[in-house]
Chain A
Amino acid sequence: MKKKVLVPYLYIIPGLFMVLFFVYIPVVSNFIYSFFRLSSYSAEKIFVGFENYIKLFTDEVFLIMIRNNIYYAVISLIVQVGIGTMLAILIESKYSGKFRNLYRNIYFIPALISLTAVGLLFKFVYSPDIGLLNSALRFLNLDGLTHAWLGESKLAIFCVIAMSQWQFTGYITVLMVVAVQNIPKEYLEAAEIDGAGPIKKVINVMLPLVKEQLLVCSIITIIGAFKLFTEIYTTTSGGPGNSSQVLGVYLYQNAFLHDDMGLAAATGVLIFIITVGISIIQINAAKSGEV
């Protein structure tokens, strides 16, 4: 009898060790490191209390970073989750006809390209002289709308955000397509019999039924927004000046350029708290489990 109880736990152990060593222990040690001044070249750690946090919160870049991460989160929610859901409903509706699969693939393909490649690609798209965007504007005789894009402090962050929308709206679309497909046909038929038009059907029947998936997509998107790194690193590295700086790149630069591991750890803790906090709020707000 005893053996039977033990066996399932033995199966879990390898996986448990993996997450323990690669996720939970690093999270805890990162939290501890954030109270020390330490460098990767010396074994010495100096306890500094909240100094790293004070440095982070009083850095004049701090507000810029938070603002940029929030811009990214809000715009991604509207575009990726909002438009992504609309696309999913349209793809699954009778209007898409026999091209349903083709649409799905077309929208999904950008999400398959490596982030670094997309970053380099868009550096060309945004290039002032030879870039695709300015060339297109000039072709349309809209010369007045041409910009230096990534070179302008006020525009750089939005250019990077726009790039991500291009890449990931299709990803959310595909996730939502699965949810829309799972809606029982009976509900929709019942709604039709009751006289609901297409819009009423979407708002009153479909959206409540895909709530769970919408929640998952929103969490993925917002967490992604605060973990943002590669998109910025491969395009502007936070520039011009600090105008497109975000928490992820700041963490990286402090850790590996300035060897200030304590400050980087504190930034990591902040990102962790923000993402966990947002997940908890969202899961509670949506009262997960109920339809």
Chain B
Amino acid sequence: MDISDEFYNDEEWSSSLLLSQVNEYRDGDVLYGLPFRLDAKMFFYNIDIFNELGLEVPETWDEFIQVCETLKQNGITPIAYGNQDQWPSSHYIGSINQMVVNNETRLKDLEPSTGEFTDPNYVLALDYYQQLIPYFNDSPNAYSHDMARNIFSQENAAMIYAELVEIPYIKEENPDLNYGMFGFPLIEGEGDPTLLTGSPEGFVISANTKYPEEAIDFLKYLTGPEVGKQEVQEVGWFNAGKGIVDGLEDQKLLEAYEILEGAEKMAGWFDSSLYSTVCNEYLIVTSVLTNGEMTPEEAMSKIQKVAQEAQTLVQDTEDN
């Protein structure tokens, strides 16, 4: 159901939310939902380990690799990574793709009816991913993401690529962990480095509802600042309400909120953005590539084939 009239005409309502996040539920002029749980992917790093080795937060890819190398030489696992469930790889690939692949090409490929994945930069992205493999813990495919996060929380690795919604979990696993966050290191490429990886979860209203007004009222309440304040205090998650962190003391959460507040544009999760069969293939080949049993070129040619099949699948469905 399109709620854009109700939302944009109600000045009080629309000014109470972070519009950059609300936009994630907009398609053209249509606003079809509102965010309930904001999220983004960041590198979390162990400040104590970094200080001990005199490391600085890396901004570029080269600096990042340098940091990883130093950590490794000092006998510390640079990055905790668990890819048993296969989706974690898509967050790496998604973030790298955003930087090295032209934004228009990327968006065109995410659309199943036009997706080809023939741009050579996709291979390049997998190359970059491959450069990280020596710096992950051994055999990432044998660890779930939760296990990997525990490796990081227990200070057995210096960094992890994790979601902001995981901050409460880390607090539970090791309340004394001294850690910070930085964005995915900058890779010079044809893409758009200002995109922040992640997208909010939210609620939409069915167009068939018998009670549109009540549903809108409820959504306004649920995704508004009042519930947002409670949400962040009690579970450590944010909705798009403005000022929900007032009075909050948890420094990590404040830092996270600042990141989300400052984000101009989000790039949705790569696995959720892809057509299901293409996503499946991407996850499978990346998993094999992570085990060192496939090259980026082989991987992309497999994905291209499935993307081609997806085009015909979508075409057939549209024809009928």
What residues make up the interface of A, taking CB atoms closer than 8 Å to B?
37, 39, 42, 44, 46, 123, 126-129, 148-153, 236-237, 239-242, 253, 257-260
Minimum CB–CB distance for B320 against chain A, Å: 6
What residues make up the interface of B, taking CB atoms closer than 8 Å to A?
84-86, 137-144, 147, 151, 276-277, 280, 284-285, 287-288, 290-291, 293-294, 316-317, 320
Is there an interface contact between A127 and B143, defined as CB atoms closer than 8 Å?
yes
Is there an interface contact between A240 and B290, defined as CB atoms closer than 8 Å?
yes
| A149 to B139 Cα, complex, angstroms | 9
Pick the contact of A151 from B143, B151, B316, B320 — CB < 8 Å?
Answer: B143
Contact residues of B: prevailing secondary structure: helix
- Which residues of B sit under 8 angstroms from A253, Cβ to Cβ? 280
Is there an interface contact between B287 and A240, defined as CB atoms closer than 8 Å?
yes
A241: nearest chain-B partner, CB-CB:
B288
Is there an interface contact between B84 and A150, defined as CB atoms closer than 8 Å?
yes
Minimum CB–CB distance for A251 against chain B, Å: 14
- Which residues of A sit under 8 angstroms from B294, Cβ to Cβ? 241
Contact residues of A: prevailing secondary structure: loop
| A237 to B147 Cα, complex, angstroms | 17
What's the count of A-B pairs with C-beta under 8 Å? 69
Minimum CB–CB distance for B287 against chain A, Å: 5
- Which residues of A sit under 8 angstroms from B138, Cβ to Cβ? 128, 148
Pick the contact of B139 from A44, A128, A237, A258 — CB < 8 Å?
Answer: A128
Minimum CB–CB distance for A146 against chain B, Å: 10
Is there an interface contact between B277 and A258, defined as CB atoms closer than 8 Å?
yes
Is there an interface contact between A241 and B84, defined as CB atoms closer than 8 Å?
no
CB-defined A-B contacts under 8 Å, sample of 22: A39-B317, A42-B317, A44-B320, A123-B144, A128-B138, A129-B137, A148-B142, A151-B84, A151-B143, A153-B288, A239-B84, A239-B141, A239-B287, A240-B141, A240-B287, A240-B288, A241-B284, A253-B280, A257-B276, A257-B280, A258-B276, A258-B277
Pick the contact of A236 from B84, B140, B285, B293 — CB < 8 Å?
Answer: B84
Residue from B144, B284, B290 with most neighbouring chain A CB atoms (10 Å): B284
